[in-house]
Amino acid sequence: MILLSTSDFTGYNYINTSTASLPKLQAYIDRYEKMYILQLLGVELGELFIADLSNASQDVRFVAIQDPFYEQTDAGHIYQSNGMIEFLCAAIAYHYIKDTQFSHTISGVGKKLLEAQKDQSGENAHRYGERRFNEELNTVDAIQWYCKRFDSATYPEYKGVEIKPVYSAIL
Report pLDDT digits (tens) over 70-89.
Answer: 999 999 999 999 999 999 99
* pLDDT at residue 117, as a whole number: 47
3-state secondary structure the chain: CCCCCHHHCCHHHCCCCCCCCHHHHHHHHHHHHHHHHHHHHCHHHHHHHHHHCCCCCCCHHHHHHHCCEEEECCCCCEEEECCHHHHHHHHHHHHHHHHCCEEEECCEEEECCCCCCCCCCHHHHHHHHHHHHHHCHHHHHHHHHHHHCCCCCCCCCCCCCCCCCCCCCCC
Q: Which is more confidently placed, 116 or 57?
A: 57
Residue 155 or residue 111, greater confidence: 155
Summarize pLDDT for 81-115 with one digit per residue, the tens: 999 999 999 999 999 988 887 655 555 545 555 54
pTM of structure: 0.86
